[in-house]
Amino acid sequence: MRLRFPVTYFNIYLFLRRPKHPDVPLRSPYFVTVKEVNNRTTWMVTGTKSTPTLERVRMYFKGHLNLYNPERLLIGVYGTELYHFRISVIPGVVLCDLSEEVQLYVVDPPLSIPGQLITSSATAIILGVLVFLGFFLHHNGIVVRIKNHIRAFFSRHQATVSPGNTMGSTSE
């Protein structure tokens, strides 16, 4: 997916999909881990539904594994370009490995602080110089003289066609 910077709340909805059965939303006790495959660090899980079971399982792992409830799972991305997330159900809960991969491409980052300051300062200076030049030229009458020279140039070089010299006509 291609998203605009900043991505503060990216909702992830996970479903269990089986043939010939309706999709079932993934809920507790299927707790998940979220890993960024490219080892980028400018992201974090910004929301998940906390349950007592989740808190007990988190205490069991004591910080070795970051667990999240798949309900209302939100990810915030604070950098740009490609993010590749792997969301996996913790092993041992189900007989197979349940995982999903999500790729986000974040575009349109803001300019860095010096770049933004330089751009706005240069724009202000250029506009100020243009206004000053316009005032200076108008005040000294240079604009009027330039207009008169342009009018004279075009009036001198206009083609003149007399009505009697039309081509294809014969005069007798």
Q: What is the pLDDT of residues 159-169, one digit of tens each?
A: 666 666 555 55
Query: Exposed (0-12), middle (13-18) or buried (19+): which is 162, by Cβ within 10 Å?
Result: exposed
Percent of the chain with pLDDT over 70: 90
- Tell me: the pLDDT tens digits for 91-145? 777 778 888 899 989 888 777 778 778 888 999 999 999 999 888 877 777 777 7
The residue ranges of every structural domain in the chain are 2-107, 113-156
Specify the amino acid at residue 76: G
Give the contacts of 137 (CB within 8 A, at least 6 positions apart): 143
- 12 has pLDDT over 60: yes
Q: For residue range 16-37, list pLDDT tens digits in order.
A: 888 999 988 888 778 888 999 9
- For the stretch 47-59, pLDDT in tens is 777 777 777 777 7
**Amino acid identity, position 142:** I
CA atoms within 13 A on the CB side of 60: 7
Q: Is the domain 2-107 a CATH 2.40.30 member?
A: no
- Predicted TM-score (pTM) of the model is 0.61
Residue 87, classified by CB atoms within 10 Å of its CB into exposed (0-12), middle (13-18) or buried (19+), is: buried
| Per-residue tokens: 167 | 């081509």
Beta strands, E only, the chain:
2-4, 7-12, 15-16, 24-25, 32-36, 43-47, 73-77, 81-89, 99-107
- Which token pair is 142? 């240079």
